Amino acid sequence: MREQVIKFLRSLKPRDHVAIYALTTQLLLLHEFTEDASALVNAASQFKPKELAAYEASNPESSNLPALAGNADATWAWQNFQASVNAANTRIAAQNKINRAETTTAAFTAANGLSAIPRD
């Protein structure tokens, strides 16, 4: 996605007045409004989000715990444990998706205030 944003920023015309924001667990201003496309490209290129854990928690990886079993009796126990882990991961992922949706809604609300900025 970063490449697409940078491609867009490089296509700006000199008269375009643009700011760049990032949405992580909060709305972040990466660069104030400017007509300097190279400054915007630089800001987008240097941005390294630290909040990837929230996304990763919303999309847990699968594991195959029953494969750890050495025999049929142990397989049953691992299958039950796997079911419990999957249920917990599903609940955690659902809550993280709700949190991300609330963060996005709050960011759109905050960004709505940008509509008052005069346009040329």
Residues 36 and 46 in one domain: yes
| Same-domain status, 36 and 77 | no
The pLDDT tens digits of the residues spanning 52-100 come to: 555 566 666 766 766 766 676 777 778 888 888 888 888 888 888 888 8
39 and 80: one domain?
no
User: Do 70 and 35 share a structural domain?
Assistant: no
Asked if 72 and 102 sit in the same domain, the reply is yes
Q: Is the pTM of this model over 0.75?
A: no
Which positions ≥6 away from 28 have C-beta within 8 Å?
21, 22
Angle at 8 between CA 3 and CA 13, to 5 degrees: 145
- The count of domains in the chain is 2
Tokens of 6: 């940078």
pLDDT tens for each residue of 5-20: 999 999 999 889 898 9
The domain in which residue 27 lies consists of 1-50
Query: What is the 8-class DSSP label of residue 71?
Result: S
Q: Do residues 108 and 120 both lie within one domain?
A: yes
